[in-house]
Amino acid sequence: MSDLVPVRVTVNGATHEHHVEPRLLLSDFLRQHLGLTGTHVGCEHGVCGACTVLLDDEPVRACLMFAVQADGCAIATVEGLAPAGTGELHPLQAAFQDEHALQCGFCTPGILMSMVAFLRDRPAPPSDRDIREALSGHLCRCTGYANIVRAVSKADDALRR
Amino acid sequence: MTPFVGRRVKRNEDPRLLTGRALFVDDVNLPGMLHVAFLRSDDAHARIASIDATAARARPGVTAVYTAADLGDYWQPGPLLVPPPPIPGVEFHVCTQVPLARDKVRHVGEPLAMVVAESRYVAEDALADIVVDVEPIDAVVDLERALAADAPKVHDHLASNLAARVRQAKGDYAAARAAAGVTIGRRFLYDRGAAVAIENRAVVASWDAQAEELTIWDTTQAPIPIRNGLARMLGLSESQVHVIAPFVGGGFGPKIMMFYPEEVLVPWAARRLGRPVKWAEDRHENFTATTQERGQVHDAEIALTRDGRILGLKDVFLHDSGAYDTYGLTVPINTQCTMLGVYDVPAYDSEFTAVFTNKTLVTPVRGAGRQHGVFVMERLLDLAARELGIDRVEIRRRNLLKPDQFPHDHGIVFQDFTSLTYDSGDYLPALEQAAELIGYQQFVREEQPRLRAEGRHVGIGIVNYVEGTGIGPYEGARVTVEPSGLVRVATGVGTQGQGHMTAFAQMVADVLGVDVADVRVVTGDTRAFHWGTGTFASRGAVVAGTACHGAAMAVRQKILDRASRELGVEPQTLELAGGRVRVRDSADEGIALGALAARANPLRGAVAHGVEPGLEATAYFGPDRGSTANGVHAMIVEVDPETAMTRILKYVVVHDCGRLINPTIVEGQVQGGVAHGIGNAFFEQLVYNDQGQLLNASLMDYLLPLATDVPDVVIAHRETPSPLNPAGLKGVGEAGCIPTGALFAQAVEDALGNRVEILEIPLSPNRLWALVSGGAGFSPPEP
């Protein structure tokens, strides 16, 4: 077994320092070492997108990175999306509920994190085609995507107000 | 108060799922937990000479390694889950899967050894330490060659690879054929796809030695049968085994009560080792170890009059069982029974032969055999329409069952062991509405000629289907009013995204006059409710939903009885609304249900003789037979002549699942089903080579439809109530994906100017290219 190396990350604003094997995936680090199981693992080869988190504000597949590669980075996961302690949902989460954009909900956390980045700093509202392109990095087996497109569009609207 | 049933109520379960708090099985992390990896066969068919796990056992961090030889008496073939239906003359050979291969491996991915270690990483390291010596045997892959006299045998003790043979017939097909103005026969192929729930399977088990109780978290659609079966296998009382199917990330069939090797071994190891044990499937395992569906070859013939009326149908087909036939004959029986569709078919003669092959097991995947039946029938009608010069909608219209023919007994036996009898239906308006919504006449007469003149390959398709749903045997539910006024509901089915926590709450809320958000539904936990079968065959809302309604009605009666005594009025003068019971049309505030519940469960005094404490009731519902939903799918498609890629320009579904509980959830099921169907029709195919190796076992090589591939489906509802349950419900879970293959074939064929016959699914750009002009490419469309 390989030697452990230190990794220090900020996740949803909290700092964590652990010693881990270099081969530990970021997805397993988040889920097993930090107990943040909202980030889901669907394929471990970078296709399904379920494990998407934000690394220094950019979406990455947590299954395609080692935890040690995230050393010194700020990570955002689905657990940090809604305002803490208020019971309220982030506008994107609320739009997903309003538009029935999730069924089993397993792919949803990754899609939410991708869409947070997608909707950030856009000068103009995205077209449905833009949204579908952005969603094409994610697999959803339940919904057939149409309600996700509607929800993202609605969230964009809400975030602009 | 406006009833909740029928309304677009937002889902109660969503906040947990959206914030990452919902528990999925792989999220269970327990102190001291060990992790499992399985060594799986690389060969599809081989004799096992030896397995040496010595080095693996010696690896630091490895707790145990088990092979078949280490399992002792626990090594048993799994249970037969569905015995063959009572059809005269049925031949059926049972060969169920084993926990770890012992003498022989029969498909790639079959488990050979189980490693338990401190982490999954170490467990996978140890897999490489195990030395397996096998003698490969030629694999049985092709369905026809499987039955050749010299074919190698998947199961040595059987006479051949024949797993089952079933013939069902009604009327006189030979006479129908003799009287026919035209007969059309073809060979049809429908190949395998994968279910691909985004959550892979997982099992966690924890043995509590003090309580002598085993807790199992399992991604199963059927926790109660799993609890019962595992208790029996492990020699425990059912009360000692607690199975929880928490949030499950998509089911689609393969997560049914399979008693998969991993499902049987993880609890055994947890008890033996006295530590919690987890196994989480990875995607590669999922492609070879999780069940699949759809391989069939049909030789079918239809006999019609010259004016397009069906006189009879004959079908002989081969069905791929895979290496074991644990789930019995459900899939091919569904095919056989769904073939008749919405049509009046006087004579039918259908015989299938199920064969063992060296491929992953076949069990129901969303649609469960119905696709094939719809594909063959609808394709035959398309070919007949062309042959007879009759419009495609018109030939369908002429053969529909009419409203006065219901209930309609087809005279054959369905998968639920009852006669195939349609409960209700109104098919013509659905067909007409779909034709209207897709703009059939206008497209065929004006738009298509215009677009073809522009050089575009555009086509239209329209197909009918039925879906046998909501089968028995039964489900149950318990409804309880708590002193807080909150209502809790428990039912035994598992939930995998269908919105049960909302749909069931809507049904209960209406009966008790409470807010839907105040009804908390628990599914899939054998401690919360311990009778039931599971979620499959589009039956959750129909069967468990009706049980919830029944239990709520019984609680309502208790509320009325008690309130009438307390208020000194007749029960019929009372109403339930706003979480209270009160005298109708009075200024009186009545009593809050919570307060009434508290009074019904006193700490002192006496509860009257014959009165149960609290406001709680349990009810069960078992339908006499399944209810038959139906619908029509239509689409306009364009084929790119340079890439053979298709683009769906419009997709319409007119759907009838009886009374709707929540239209938003129903539409979600339909839209998602269509996406799954589009995948089956054009993107997804499990490609096995002649040695039984799956060549595309990753999501990079096995393509699922993306957001850029799936259109926004136009959905219209029709509501023909079922007479088989009080709310008039029929199921919807599989409807969206059943007719998509037939529709794709018809529409693409039309887009190509009917210059090719499409007799197979799945298609792909490559396959389409090969079909057109034998690969010579596309010629310009003929206007």
Confidence of residue B33 (pLDDT cuts 50, 70, 90): very high
Among partner residues B21, B668, B704, which is closest to A38 by beta-carbon distance? B21
Q: Across the interface, do A39 and B27 touch by the CB < 8 Å criterion? A: no
What residues are paired with B637 via a beta bridge? B459, B648
Q: Across the interface, do A1 and B61 touch by the CB < 8 Å criterion? A: yes
**At which residue do the structure tokens 């689609």 appear?**
B252
Contact B140, B146 (CB under 8 A): yes
Considering the domain architecture, whether residues B301 and B363 belong to the same structural domain is answered as: yes
The residue of chain B with its CA nearest to that of A84 is B19
Q: Across the interface, do B668 and A147 touch by the CB < 8 Å criterion? A: yes
Among partner residues B14, B283, B673, which is closest to A102 by beta-carbon distance? B14
State how far residue A93 is from chain B, nearest Cα, in angstroms: 6
Confidence of residue B29 (pLDDT cuts 50, 70, 90): very high
Confidence of residue B587 (pLDDT cuts 50, 70, 90): confident
With residues binned 3-state (H G I as helix, E B as strand, rest as coil), the percentages for chain A, rounded to 5, are: 40, 15, 45
Q: Max Cα separation, chain A?
A: 53
Q: Across the interface, do A48 and B699 touch by the CB < 8 Å criterion? A: yes
Residue A1 has pLDDT above 60, yes or no: no
Asked if the structure places residue B268 within a domain, the reply is yes
Domain containing residue B605 = 472-621
- Among B132-146, B593-607, B669-683, the minimum mean pLDDT is found in B593-607
The number of beta carbons lying within 10 Å of the beta carbon of residue B1 is: 12
Q: Across the interface, do B707 and A145 touch by the CB < 8 Å criterion? A: yes
pLDDT tens digits, residue range B534-544?
988 889 889 99
- Residue B669 belongs to a domain with what CATH number? 3.30.365.10
Mean pLDDT score, A123-150: 97
The values of phi and psi at residue B123, to 5°, are -60, -40
Confidence of residue B414 (pLDDT cuts 50, 70, 90): confident
Considering the domain architecture, whether residues B345 and B393 belong to the same structural domain is answered as: yes
Q: Across the interface, do B18 and A112 touch by the CB < 8 Å criterion? A: yes
Q: Across the interface, do B24 and A106 touch by the CB < 8 Å criterion? A: yes
pLDDT tens digits, residue range B501-559?
999 999 999 999 999 999 999 999 999 999 999 988 889 889 999 999 999 999 999 99
State how far residue B474 is from chain A, nearest Cα, in angstroms: 24
Tell me the residue type at A113: M
Q: Which CATH architecture has domain A91-160?
A: Orthogonal Bundle (1.10)
Considering the domain architecture, whether residues B91 and B212 belong to the same structural domain is answered as: yes
Considering the domain architecture, whether residues B112 and B208 belong to the same structural domain is answered as: yes
- Residue B592 and residue B513: Cα distance in Å, rounded? 11
Among partner residues A45, A135, A140, which is closest to B698 by beta-carbon distance? A45
Q: Across the interface, do A106 and B27 touch by the CB < 8 Å criterion? A: no
**Mean pLDDT across chain B, nearest whole number?**
96
Considering the domain architecture, whether residues B633 and B735 belong to the same structural domain is answered as: yes
Residue B336 CA, distance from chain mean position: 17
Q: Across the interface, do A145 and B674 touch by the CB < 8 Å criterion? A: no
* Domain boundaries along the sequence of chain A: 5-80, 91-160
Domain end position, chosen among B241, B271, B289: B289
DSSP H/E element including B480: strand B475-481
The predicted structure's pLDDT at residue A85: 83
Contact B705, B678 (CB under 8 A): yes
With residues binned 3-state (H G I as helix, E B as strand, rest as coil), the percentages for chain B, rounded to 5, are: 30, 25, 45
Considering the domain architecture, whether residues B697 and B770 belong to the same structural domain is answered as: yes
The residue of chain A with its CA nearest to that of B679 is A141
| Residue of A32, A139, A142 to mutate when probing chain B, most B C-beta within 10 A | A142
Q: How many CB pairs under 8 A join A and B?
A: 181
Residue B226 has pLDDT above 90, yes or no: yes
The residue of chain A with its CA nearest to that of B733 is A142
- DSSP 3-state assignment of B35? strand
The residue of chain A with its CA nearest to that of B12 is A97
Task: Name the strands in the sheet holding A52-55, side by side, starting at the edge strand that comes first in the sequence.
Answer: A14-20, A5-11, A74-76, A52-55, A58-61
The predicted structure's pLDDT at residue B588: 83
- Residue A70 and residue A53: Cα distance in Å, rounded? 11
Asked if the structure places residue B149 within a domain, the reply is no
Considering the domain architecture, whether residues B389 and B463 belong to the same structural domain is answered as: yes
Closest CA to B728 of B474, B500, B546: B546
Considering the domain architecture, whether residues B564 and B456 belong to the same structural domain is answered as: no
- Residue B173 and residue B540: Cα distance in Å, rounded? 37
Considering the domain architecture, whether residues B572 and B688 belong to the same structural domain is answered as: no
Give me the interface pTM, i.e. the ipTM. Answer: 0.98
Domain end position, chosen among B240, B266, B289: B289
| Residue of A145, A147, A153 to mutate when probing chain B, most B C-beta within 10 A | A145
State how far residue A38 is from chain B, nearest Cα, in angstroms: 4
Domain covering A5-80, topology: Ubiquitin-like (UB roll) (3.10.20)
What residues are paired with B113 via a beta bridge? B39, B67
- Residue B367 and residue B254: Cα distance in Å, rounded? 12
For the record, the structure tokens of B285 come out as 């395992």
- Residue B56 belongs to a domain with what CATH number? 3.90.1170.50
DSSP string, B363-428: ---TTTTHHHHHHHHHHHHHHHHHHHT--HHHHHHTTBPPGGG-SEEEEEE-TTSSEEEE----HH
How many domains does one find in chain B? 3
Asked if the structure places residue B504 within a domain, the reply is yes
